[in-house]
Amino acid sequence: MRPLFNLFSVFALVLFVTSLSAQIQYTRQTNKDGMNVFEPSKDDATPYDGFKLQIGGAFTQGYQSLSHDNQDTFKLATKKLYAMSGGFNLAAANLNFDIQVEDGIRVYLENYMASRHHNEFWVKGGYIQIDKLPMFKNPDWFTKYLRVKIGHMEVNYGDQHFRRSDGGNTIFNPFAENHIMDQFATEIGGEVYVFPAKGFMFMAGMTGGLIRNDIFDYSTNTGTAVKKRSPAILLKLAYDNKASEDLRYRLSASMYSNAETPRSTIYSGDRTGSNYFGVMENTAFNATSNFTSGRFSPGTLNKVTSIMINPFVKFKGIEVFGTYEIMNGKAITETADRKTTQLAVEGLYRFLSNEQAFIGAKYNTVTSRLQGYTTDVTIDRLSFAAGWFPTKNLLLKGEYVNQTFDGFNGSDIRQDGEFKGVVIQAVVGF
């Protein structure tokens, strides 16, 4: 009982402190008000009246009732699936600090208090965001048109990462889990944003291409090992328009590219973990070590170029969000690039006062050529979701999911695999 009491005490303190904090400029709210917010707009009229500290957080408790099955052609012990029944998953919690240090300048620090992969307190990253230049008397050309972000931060590749679950922060995701191929990484670098006209945004960024620091001289490597550490290049173009009070639409195109890196984590950079516990795992399953259950990584660890297109349309309570992604890359031991494609379409209907409730469906498919394979593998997921916001800080949601695996060889635990069932989550975001 004591750890639970301590957790609630922390959240009570956070809520109290947050209630005393004023709104921060050029930021995204971490409650329902942050839904369908992508890059914060430059049209921010929040006045600056001195240093501010806003403490926020997120908490998610899940329950799942999932079953799984596969084809064990060779009767391998490593393919015997973990025996699952219904039960509660490990709760996840985040703690964030949003700091207004000067007019148009904010510092953001994100932390994982508890997660599936890292049960201990873990710093996700932090960055400084500059939307004004008060040291130069706030010139209009910068205030209106430019933004700079520098730090160890979540890279802005695609729009899906604005809707994904991230540890305890699941309030922006109408479903229980992220895409099958989950695009997410924190890297050290910078991004420059240009807002040339109303609705338009262009971003160019460069990072070290790694989830952490690295000062090793890779040119000293021999054999087939990586010989250099190239930077990752990011590009993004988006147009977001509210055509009327009832209609909003957005279209974005993004690119992430790294010519050679010791270890790319753009598809394996999540330090929190999947919200499907134990699916398609063998009897040695451990929730902490086997934290990517149900997800797919193409294994392109040393070279990757990905392009993602995201359309978004919202008409009254009807909402459609899509993802089309093409990735080419390889491991250092391979001679040729392999191709992976991902398609996802989700449709939602939000209803009741202030869109407090929603229902929705999502289809997600991945087709990929794995290393050593001569034919493609395919993973398909169909999910249905429903949710209710009792307040803007609270969300109760549930999902039914059915995911299938096709084309995996006889030694792979995913051969003719399938999992299905229900996941229910209670969410707090503030």
**E-strand spans in 81-218?**
87-88, 92-102, 105-114, 122-130, 146-154, 186-194, 200-207
Two tokens, residue 68: 């799984």
Q: Tell me, what's the pLDDT at 22?
A: 59
Instruction: State the sign of the Cα–Cα–Cα–Cα dihedral 197, 199, 202, 205.
Output: positive
Residues 384/399, Cβ–Cβ less than 8 Å: yes
Nearest to 173 by CA among 382, 343, 398: 398
Q: Tell me, what's the pLDDT at 255?
A: 98
CA 131 to chain centre: 24
Tell me phi and psi for residue 10, to 5 degrees.
-60, -45
Give Dmax over CA atoms of the chain in angstroms: 72
Taking the C-alpha atoms of residue 119 and residue 288, their distance in angstroms, rounded to an integer, is 8
**E-strand spans in 155-299?**
186-194, 200-207, 232-242, 247-258
Sequence length of the chain is 430
Q: pLDDT (tens digit, 0 to 9) for every residue of the chain, 430 residues total?
A: 444 444 444 444 444 444 444 589 999 999 999 999 999 999 988 999 999 999 999 999 999 999 999 998 778 889 999 999 999 999 999 999 999 999 999 999 999 998 988 878 989 999 999 999 999 999 999 999 999 999 999 999 999 999 999 999 999 999 999 999 999 999 999 999 999 999 999 999 999 999 989 999 999 999 889 999 999 999 999 999 999 999 999 999 999 999 999 999 999 999 899 999 999 999 999 988 899 999 999 999 999 999 999 999 999 999 999 999 999 999 999 999 999 999 999 999 999 999 999 999 999 999 999 999 999 999 999 999 999 999 999 999 999 999 999 999 999 999 999 999 999 999 999 9
End-to-end CA distance of the chain: 24
Taking the C-alpha atoms of residue 270 and residue 338, their distance in angstroms, rounded to an integer, is 22
Taking the C-alpha atoms of residue 365 and residue 388, their distance in angstroms, rounded to an integer, is 27
Q: Tell me, what's the pLDDT at 186?
A: 96
Residue 79: C-alpha distances to residues 153, 294, 356, 415 (Å):
37, 15, 43, 9
Q: Which residues neighbour 20 within 8 Å (Cβ) at sequence distance 6 or greater?
A: none
Residue with tokens 């209803």: 351
Let me know the angle formed at the C-alpha of 270 by 410 and 311, rounded to the nearest 5 degrees. 90
Two tokens, residue 217: 């001289």
Residues 126/152, Cβ–Cβ less than 8 Å: yes
Q: Which residues neighbour 245 within 8 Å (Cβ) at sequence distance 6 or greater?
A: none
Q: Tell me, what's the pLDDT at 118?
A: 80
Two tokens, residue 227: 């010989």
Q: What is the pTM of this model?
A: 0.91
Residue 400: C-alpha distances to residues 175, 296, 344 (Å):
9, 19, 16
Residues 357/350, Cβ–Cβ less than 8 Å: yes
Alpha helix stretches (DSSP H) within 20-86: none
Residue with tokens 């799942």: 64
Residues 59/11, Cβ–Cβ less than 8 Å: yes
Domains of the chain: 2-429 (2.40.160.10)
